[in-house]
């Protein structure tokens, strides 16, 4: 088995993603996740280029993976020792340093405005300087594939200069992302034939043609033994090659599985889905449902034919077992779904229904009607269960809400400061009891948290006999979409709730009024919790 090395650049190239801005603390958490996963290098950022990256290297966690600082080869007209940009990179004190440099004559002339020989000398002197300082040196050959197409001898010479100066790795970068897999394979083979050993050769691809993963595999097929990529394929423009996708392919699929080994253990692989979703949480991004291996839809079998075959034998429509990467199989509910899907999903929720129960057809119809109104049950399992129970006649409503009112006011206070105050009144009925609760939504720091929070507090203030059961419950996330489009637009609110027992559940509400949609989802969330805890109705 040959060793294949994984070089992660989530914290550097991944930070180039539009809309992504890590804090130093978030970088620390991500570095720890990468280390747990088992990558070989963690490229932490460009020290000196922005304050966050410098802060991160000051506080970088101890990792088994080699922490790496990124920078660029020294500028023309000064020595490597006197280049302050390069000095800032070295000052981060990492064991490994990766410097990007030019290999494409067009860029040497156009972007740097220097001669081709001067560029070679910049590469040589920079790498030699790293090595003299006792660092592992990597050279990122920017625009390598375009450069090779233009002038193969010069592009190759840049690599040889770096290797001869002591670089441990030279990395072929398809910086603009325009090279297709066949060409990446061909040029990588030519580079190895030109004297660069495969076990000192890396590959760095972007997804501008949707081929970043395939280009990376093509370079590995050709003999490159380091792959650079990011978690979830973050990165400049369309992103980098996704390690989240590449790692399972390399570990689970032939020919890689039986010819290459990496530092990722089966346990690391089983944590991949969790790591992928945690990263999205840090970024406040909605996880991509269709992401290979780790997406919520990656093992979702919606077609009726597929779903029924899967129930007999998962191998019929799954290329790998979802549990291996910590993911799970789901049979989504929707108005395409047949009764066998529905029964399987209800059974998963502990609701057993006979094969010929006429309620199955009624539930399917109801789901269809409600989805037409804007509800979405794919992502709100708890509300779906309540709907099914209501139709099956096994839903205990526990309580009803007679009316509510919520007010938001923004004005100046006595000190002349602008403040906002939210207040809610809720009238709840439980059997013969009628309970009137009022709440503001001020938190411990005096911050007004808004009308939905005020409603939640008023509801949670006095639910009579159920009160003890909802006290460990809290709201985790709140997502709003305008749906239906055009004149018939409605607001869909999905609320994620959690409790002290580690459960997490999602409910949905739909209305033209965002407060009303939120309130519906809140009431569903409480009802589901009471059912989950098997609370006896008062």
Hey, which residues between 18 and 37 contact a second copy (CB under 8 A)?
A: 18-19, 21
Smallest distance from a second copy to CB 360, Å = 16
Q: For a second copy, which stretch binds (CB under 8 A), given 152-160, 170-178, 349-357, 432-440?
A: 170-178
Write each residue from 205 to 244 as x if it is in contact with a second copy (CB under 8 A), else as -, in one continuous string: --xxxxx-xxx-xx--x-----------x--xxxx--x--
Considering only residues 46 to 65 of the shown chain, the ones binding a second copy according to CB under 8 A are: 49-50
- When binding is defined by CB under 8 A, the residue of 194, 450, 464, 465 that contacts a second copy is 450
Smallest distance from a second copy to CB 325, Å = 12
Cis ω on the peptide bond leading into residue 255 (within 30° of 0)?
yes
Please give the Cα distance from 288 to 136 (Å, whole number): 36
Helix pair 116-132, 84-91: axis angle to 10 deg: 30
Please give the Cα distance from 103 to 157 (Å, whole number): 9
Closest CA to 452 of 510, 498, 408: 408
Q: Judged by CB, which is closer to a second copy: 175, or 439?
A: 175
Smallest distance from a second copy to CB 181, Å = 5
The three-state DSSP-derived secondary structure of 80-99 is: HHHCHHHHHHHHCCCCEEEE
Considering only residues 393 to 432 of the shown chain, the ones binding a second copy according to CB under 8 A are: 401-412, 420, 422
Considering only residues 257 to 286 of the shown chain, the ones binding a second copy according to CB under 8 A are: 281-282, 284, 286
Count of residues of this chain found to bind a second copy when the rule CB under 8 A is applied: 117
Smallest distance from a second copy to CB 236, Å = 6
Structure tokens at 142: 């920017």
Q: For a second copy, which stretch binds (CB under 8 A), given 161-169, 190-198, 265-273, 483-491?
A: 483-491
* CA-to-CA dists, residue 167 to 134, 135, 141, 202, 413, angstroms: 12, 10, 12, 12, 64
Place of tokens 């098997």: 534
Please give the Cα distance from 41 to 226 (Å, whole number): 10
Q: How many other CB atoms sit within 10 Å of the CB of residue 264?
A: 21
Considering only residues 499 to 518 of the shown chain, the ones binding a second copy according to CB under 8 A are: 511-516
Please give the Cα distance from 5 to 264 (Å, whole number): 10
The reply on whether position 83 binds a second copy by CB under 8 A is no
Considering only residues 282 to 341 of the shown chain, the ones binding a second copy according to CB under 8 A are: 282, 284, 286, 288-293, 295-306, 309, 312-313, 316-320, 332, 334-336
Smallest distance from a second copy to CB 177, Å = 6
Q: Judged by CB, which is closer to a second copy: 127, or 455?
A: 455
Structure tokens at 516: 């009303």
Write each residue from 129 to 168 as x if it is in contact with a second copy (CB under 8 A), else as -, in one continuous string: ----------------------------------------
- When binding is defined by CB under 8 A, the residue of 36, 85, 131, 180 that contacts a second copy is 180
Q: How many residues does the chain have?
A: 538
Rg of the chain in Å (alpha carbons): 29
The reply on whether position 498 binds a second copy by CB under 8 A is no
Q: Are 69 and 98 spatial neighbours (Cβ–Cβ below 8 Å)?
A: yes
- When binding is defined by CB under 8 A, the residue of 58, 110, 267, 471 that contacts a second copy is 110
Structure tokens at 428: 């709840």
Smallest distance from a second copy to CB 514, Å = 5
**Helices and strands: H and E segment counts in the chain:** 20, 16
């Amino acid at each position: 088995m040959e060793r294949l090395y994984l070089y992660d650049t989530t914290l550097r190239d991944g930070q180039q993603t539009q809309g992504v801005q890590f804090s130093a603390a978030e970088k620390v958490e991500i570095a720890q996740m990468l280390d747990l996963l088992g990558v070989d290098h963690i490229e932490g950022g460009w020290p000196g280029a922005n304050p966050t990256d410098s802060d991160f290297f000051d506080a970088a966690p101890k990792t088994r993976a080699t922490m790496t600082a990124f920078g660029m080869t020294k500028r023309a007209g000064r020595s490597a020792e006197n280049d302050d940009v390069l000095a800032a990179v070295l000052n981060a004190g990492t064991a490994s340093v990766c410097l990007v440099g030019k290999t494409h004559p067009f860029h040497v002339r156009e972007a740097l405005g220097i001669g081709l020989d001067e560029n070679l000398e910049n590469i040589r002197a920079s790498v030699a300087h790293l090595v003299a300082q006792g660092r592992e040196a990597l050279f990122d050959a920017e625009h390598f594939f375009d450069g090779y197409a233009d002038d193969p001898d010069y592009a190759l010479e840049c690599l040889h200069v770096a290797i001869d100066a002591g670089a441990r790795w030279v990395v072929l970068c398809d910086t603009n992302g325009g090279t297709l897999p066949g060409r990446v394979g061909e040029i990588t083979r030519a580079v190895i034939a030109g004297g660069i050993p495969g076990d000192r050769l890396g590959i760095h691809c972007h997804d501008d043609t949707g081929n970043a993963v395939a280009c990376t595999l093509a370079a590995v097929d050709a003999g490159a033994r380091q792959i650079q990529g990011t978690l979830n394929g973050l990165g400049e423009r369309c992103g980098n090659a996704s390690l989240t996708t590449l790692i399972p392919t390399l570990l689970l699929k032939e020919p890689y599985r039986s010819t290459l080994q990496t530092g990722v253990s089966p346990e690391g692989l089983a944590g991949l889905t969790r790591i992928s979703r945690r990263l999205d949480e840090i970024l406040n991004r909605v996880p991509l449902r269709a992401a290979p291996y780790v997406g919520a839809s990656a093992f979702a079998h919606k077609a009726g034919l597929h779903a029924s075959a899967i129930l007999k034998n998962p191998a019929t429509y799954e290329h790998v077992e979802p549990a291996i990467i910590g993911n799970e199989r789901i049979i989504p509910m929707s108005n395409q779904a047949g009764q066998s899907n529905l029964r399987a999903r209800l059974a998963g929720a502990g609701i057993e229904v006979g094969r010929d129960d006429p309620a199955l057809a009624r539930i399917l119809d109801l789901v269809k009607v409600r989805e037409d109104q804007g509800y979405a049950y794919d992502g709100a399992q708890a509300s779906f269960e309540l709907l099914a129970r209501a139709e099956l006649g096994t839903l205990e409503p526990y309580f009803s809400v007679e009316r509510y009112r919520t007010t938001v006011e923004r004005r100046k206070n006595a000190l002349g400061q602008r403040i906002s105050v939210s207040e809610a009144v809720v009238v709840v009925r439980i059997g013969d009891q009628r309970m009137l609760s009022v709440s503001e939504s001020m938190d411990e720091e005096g911050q007004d948290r808004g009308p939905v929070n005020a409603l939640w507090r008023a509801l949670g203030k006095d639910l009579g006999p159920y009160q003890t059961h909802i006290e460990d419950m809290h709201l985790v996330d709140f997502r709003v979409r305008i749906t239906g489009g055009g004149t018939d637009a409605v607001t869909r609110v999905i609320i994620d709730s959690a409790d002290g027992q580690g459960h997490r559940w999602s409910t949905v509400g739909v209305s033209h009024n965002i407060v009303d949609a939120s309130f519906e989802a809140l009431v569903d969330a409480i009802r589901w919790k009471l059912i989950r805890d098997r609370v006896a109705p008062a």
